[in-house]
Amino acid sequence: MKDLSEKRESFAGSMTAIMAMAGSAVGLGNLWRFPYLMGENGGATFIAIYLLLAIFICLPIILVEFIIGRRSQKNIYGAFEVLAPGKPWKLIGICCTLAPILVLSFYSVVGGWSINYLLKALSFSFTGENSNPEYLSSLFSNFVTDPYKPLLFHTLFLGMTAVIVAVGVKKGIERFSKIVMPLLFVMIIIIVVKAVTLPGSSAGLNYIFKPDFSKVTSETVLKALGQAFFSLSLGCGTMVTYASYVGRKENLLKCSAGTVFFDTIFALLAGCAIMPAVFAYGINPSEGPGLVFVTLPHIFSQMTAGGPVAIIFFFSLLIAALTSSISLLEVLTALLTEELHLKRTWAVVISFFLFWILGAACSLSQGVLSDVLVFGKNIFDLFDYISANILMLAGGLLLTIFVGWALGKKVIREELTNDGSLRVPPVLLQTIVFLIRYVAPAAIIAIFIFQTIS
Ligand code: TRP
């Protein structure tokens, strides 16, 4: 195959690639979505199912995306032109582009919320009489339903994302991820240490680590899979796009396992940072999406040194969100620059306006547009539901079928061993091929059917 890699930018090495990919994966999904879903769905049971799905279903799918991206060295649409010229597989590319468009729209709104809460933490707003739960809950709902303020922060967040992406893959995305990911790790560890040393925190750790499988329903499994897809940025071209910047000498197995490992560790750390504190202060763990923005500020106000801890937490939330939103924006940017031959800056500007409008609709759907319901959901929830529970699963399914059956075993083997130059045990290769061809697609289809029946 012709090597197109010199013409494009690429990540410096496998560790850098893992940082960028983990940057995409670790985000609001870990720090905001995972803790509240876990809280609503029975703690440890949810985690156990999540881990099984991450290893046996998501790891093969992430590999599939890496294979498509690295082999084609193209965006999610162009990749199919290179790998299966003249065939209708390109349509997958379109399906996969839709998901990041919907995701970034509401993601940027929540990213904006985290800027607002970081500013509040910096001015030590969660103290004294401002710390009771009723006040914090009305503060949150007044803020998100306000027609202007969240829009301002959404603009700011999207603007920061656009600047990093416009600067480029190496100087923007790679450099940013390399600096902030280790920082994020250190900060989350600080919060975990603080949380688990609170008196009464052990009940929270029990909640996270003692599974009760009698509580499992098909809905729990679907939610866990949707969350695993969301958290690992799967089924929507993000990983394909990032993998297209991975050099031909890098070890794809190492990159994918590293990404899944870091993402899962971050989700668990976020759980360990939040649940012990929730239990220590006698709060209901199934608080829902407000967990991070209502419950946590209350907890911060109660603990010693809560002010600085709040600053660290909301700063972490913001940078985790940024490293993910840049990966979402990069999907469309790569597509526009390569397929329509636009300059990078123009591609980013056009994307910015698109996401600004869709994001504004999501933001306003919390307040003035809350009456606009589609299938009983407001625009924000609709975008979240369609992307995580339908588009990304469908995208993941189609991508695995493409690699497992259309490209086939030989290509999988070539990519995982770098044309035979890396030694990978044959049993491992066979297992991976089996997971990609049978297990992952079957599991996704089964979960889809369950979802439709119930
Ligand atoms: N994975 C990120 C998180 O956990 C969000 C994200 C980045 C994403 N790229 C994505 C979600 C693509 C869905 C699709 O927050």
Distance, CA of 448 to CA of 142 (rounded, Å): 37
Residues 111, 32: contact at Cβ < 8 Å? no
Output the CA 92–ligand 1 centroid distance in Å: 19
Q: Is 276 in the pocket of ligand 1 (CB under 6 A)?
A: no
Residues 295, 137: contact at Cβ < 8 Å? no
Q: Does residue 292 surpass a pLDDT of 90? A: no
Residue 131: the pLDDT is 76
Residue 7: the pLDDT is 63
Q: Does residue 332 surpass a pLDDT of 60? A: yes
DSSP annotation of 419: T
pLDDT digits (tens, 9 = 90+) for 162-220: 999 999 998 999 999 999 999 999 999 998 998 888 888 898 888 888 887 777 787 78
3-state secondary structure of 343: coil
Domain boundaries, the chain: 4-453
Q: Is 29 in the pocket of ligand 1 (CB under 6 A)?
A: yes
CA distances 357 to 101, 105, 158, 275, 385, Å, are: 11, 8, 11, 35, 19
Distance, CA of 183 to CA of 318 (rounded, Å): 12
- For 324-348, letters b (16+ CB in 10 Å) and e give bbbbbbbbbbbbbbbeeebebeebb
Superfamily of domain 4-453: Amino acid/polyamine transporter I (1.20.1740.10)
Output the CA 324–ligand 1 centroid distance in Å: 6
Closest-CA residue, ligand 1 atom 14, reads 233
Q: Is 451 in the pocket of ligand 1 (CB under 6 A)?
A: no
Output the CA 419–ligand 1 centroid distance in Å: 31
Cβ-proximal residues to 394 (8 Å cutoff; 6+ apart), any chain: 95, 235
**Exposure on the CB side of residue 67, measured as CA atoms within 13 A:** 30
Cβ-proximal residues to 451 (8 Å cutoff; 6+ apart), any chain: 218, 222, 389
Distance, CA of 104 to CA of 158 (rounded, Å): 9
Task: Give the N- to C-terminal CA distance of the chain in Å, as an integer.
Answer: 47
Closest-CA residue, ligand 1 atom 9, reads 233
pLDDT digits (tens, 9 = 90+) for 123-176: 988 877 677 778 888 889 999 999 999 999 999 999 999 999 999 998 999 999
Q: Does residue 17 surpass a pLDDT of 50? A: yes
DSSP H or E stretch at residue 77: none
Residue 150: the pLDDT is 96
The closest alpha carbon to 215, from 51, 43, 42, 52, belongs to: 42
Residues 24, 327: contact at Cβ < 8 Å? yes
pLDDT digits (tens, 9 = 90+) for 42-101: 888 899 999 999 999 999 999 999 999 999 999 999 999 999 998 899 899 988 999 999
Output the CA 29–ligand 1 centroid distance in Å: 7
Output the CA 52–ligand 1 centroid distance in Å: 19
Q: Is 258 in the pocket of ligand 1 (CB under 6 A)?
A: no
Nearest ligand 1 atom to alpha carbon 327: 9
